Chains A and B, each alone.
Chain A
Amino acid sequence: MFRTLSAIAVGLALASAFALYVVSYDTRRLDADVSAQERRIERLRSDIAVLKAELAFLSRPERIEPLARSMGFQPANGAQYIEPDTLASAGSSPDRPRHASGAGQEKETGQRPSNE
């Protein structure tokens, strides 16, 4: 009886040792996974910082302005504002202001008060 019990105990001990080994091996692997993910997060975070800077760099007014002007845009001016209640009629009016004129052709005379 004692012998059987011992055998079972030994078997259990071996099984649990194996199970524990598997679990701890798994843990170690997961641990490595976690640090790999952490490194990835760090790298992505650093990439995000670079991309954010890149985006701001590409959308800097110094770059956008000449591009916009070459497409025929001008700085907004006060005359483009309209009262909200006149909005409905202004929307359907055919002669609403358009700025896409000949590229690079436009003069700023309409923009700036002609002082002299």
Chain B
Amino acid sequence: MSTALGQSPSPAFSATRANYAARSFAVALAMVVGFSAISLQLVRLALKGQIVEPRVAMTQPLTESYWRPDIVDRHGRLLATDIEAPTLYADPALIIDVDEVVEHLVQEFPEFNAADLRRSLSDRNRRYVRLKRGISPATAQRIHNFGLPGIAFRNEPKRVYPNGSLAGHVIGHVNIDNKGTSGFERFIDEAVGIEAVHSGAPGSLRPVRISLDLAVQYGLEDELRSAARQFGAKGAAGLILDANTGEVLAAASLPKVDPANRSHILDASRLDKIAEGVYELGSIFKTITVAMALEAGTAELGKVYDVRAPLRVGRYTIRDLHPLGRPLSVREIFVHSSNVGAGMMGLELGSDRQRAYLAKFGLIEPIRTEAGPVAAPKLPQNWGKAETITISYGHGMAVAPMQFAAAAATLVNGGLRVMPTFRSGAPMAAERRRIISPETSAAIRELMRRNVESAHGTGRRAEVAGYEVGGKTGTAELPGRGGYRETAVIASFVAAFPMSAPKYVVLVMLHEPKPTERTKGRITAGLNAAPVAGRIIARTAPLLGVFPQ
């Protein structure tokens, strides 16, 4: 058979051999292709470096919580920010000894109810039981050290207010999910936007600039606090408004609210007296009445009214607190704050024109700011002769001080409409509505300045050297049972400075100030609200960068 080997292969065998070569080539090719595919994939993975692992259920939002932008004042100082605070939760499926867990937790948080806790932790179908939000890092560490399986923490945003209750009324509140529920915080939710916690990170949102000035706000609050103490007042409120842009530099109402304390918002005594309360503001309203009369042309500064006799309408008699016993010019009516004079000027105008002017000044329609709606003005049901007279000196109609301050800004800034705003550097309307003529505004400025400058002016105690303060006092009796209470008043002072070209309007209110020795037993605004306004201006004007004359 050796010959057979030397012979050329049989055709059958040769065919098999060719087949074999083809097959092994096919296998080799398949291998090459396969391995190169694997290599390529390996290279790709190695280069990209991202092995996308499937994310599991824990990253789903268990609760919706939000990151909020910081609030900074007009100079960038921090008023509100978010920090991460641990939330304590339990995963009942992982708990080994429920009793031990309950015992430790109740010991750490005495407010927990052991029976309730045991019940919810025993339910093994639940994977997430939230126990307590916003605990301190130290407490979290202590609980962590117990080494309890099934007890864990996750970080959630918590709003903090480093300045405590400073500007609390303006800032407002957030709820447990860090969503704004009132004040400027709510405005942020609506107009600026917040970020759900699972898609954002702390500090990733641009801070929102509020028009307040931290230092001015503190100065205002501090002066109001000492004034309330000095005069035994039940409350006090103050506002500093840019006379041209309407930006609120400071707004305070005592007693204050703490933004971190949600229950404060329900406390009626902590109502924001600047924006949430409406008051009969008394004689400071005479600035409006005089402006109306001048604008309508029914009076001029030198016009003389006979104010000797009390004004009688129906069953009402209006008289002056300190009658001078002689006819008074418009200037004197303003400086001596004559109710009869103001009433006569109102009567000359008539109720229709009075109403129309009040509407023009923006004192009829409700307004709103970024901190929420301002309480709507309370107007008389029927606007007769008696109402026209009383409104002329600030009774019979109630308005929020914020809304009045905006009208006062119009009076002194040359006659242009001002809308109060809490947005810093908010674009001013290119064409602002003219409410009164520049001449009328100049006349009001003259009257307000005279009332502080002159030795007889009711506002003389508001004078601050160098700042050309002008203003008007108002002492409004509070309505009580069966009429007005003479011993309970709101003493107020509306001021502007510097009077030659007013930059800021200041409004001060003292609620039910008590007579003191220094006020010689009286409670009129000239003796309490006016000096307080003077102190506020003396303290804040340098901070506001107003150069003294």
Contacts and interface: CB of A to CB of B under 8 A. Distances in A.
Most chain B CB within a 10 A radius of its CB, from A49, A50, A81: A49
10 contacts: A45-B201, A50-B84, A57-B163, A60-B163, A61-B214, A62-B163, A77-B542, A78-B542, A112-B534, A113-B461
A56 B461 contact: no
A65 B217 CA distance: 13
Residues of B in contact with A, size category: 35 or more
Contact of B548 (A13, A23, A78): A78
Contact of B46 (A23, A45, A57, A115): A23
Interface in B179-238: 201-203, 214-215, 218-219, 222
Nearest to A50: B83
A12 B166 CA distance: 73
Interface in A31-51: 31, 42, 45-46, 48-50
Nearest to A26: B46
Among all A-B residue pairs, the 8 with the closest Cβ atoms:
A56-B162, A78-B548, A61-B218, A56-B78, A57-B162, A115-B461, A76-B542, A23-B46
Contact of A78 (B45, B51, B83, B538): B538
B81 A56 contact: yes
B327 to A, nearest CB: 31
Contacts of A75: 219, 539, 542
Contacts of A80: 542
Given A49-B202, A78-B464, A27 B164 contact: no
B463 interface: yes
Interface string B526-548: 00000100110011011100011
Contacts of B535: 112-113
In this complex, the member of A31, A54, A75 whose beta carbon has the largest number of chain B beta carbons within 10 angstroms is A75
Contact of A79 (B160, B166, B466, B531): B466
Do most interface residues of chain B lie in helix, strand or loop, or is the interface mixed? Answer: mixed
Interface of A: 13, 16, 20, 23-24, 26-28, 30-31, 42, 45-46, 48-50, 52-57, 60-62, 65, 75-81, 111-113, 115-116
B302 interface: no
Contacts of B163: 56-57, 60-62
B548 A53 contact: no
Given A23-B46, A80-B542, A49 B84 contact: yes
Contact of A61 (B50, B78, B202, B215): B215
A16 B43 CA distance: 10
B465 A113 contact: yes
Contacts of B42: 20, 24
A2 to B, nearest CB: 11
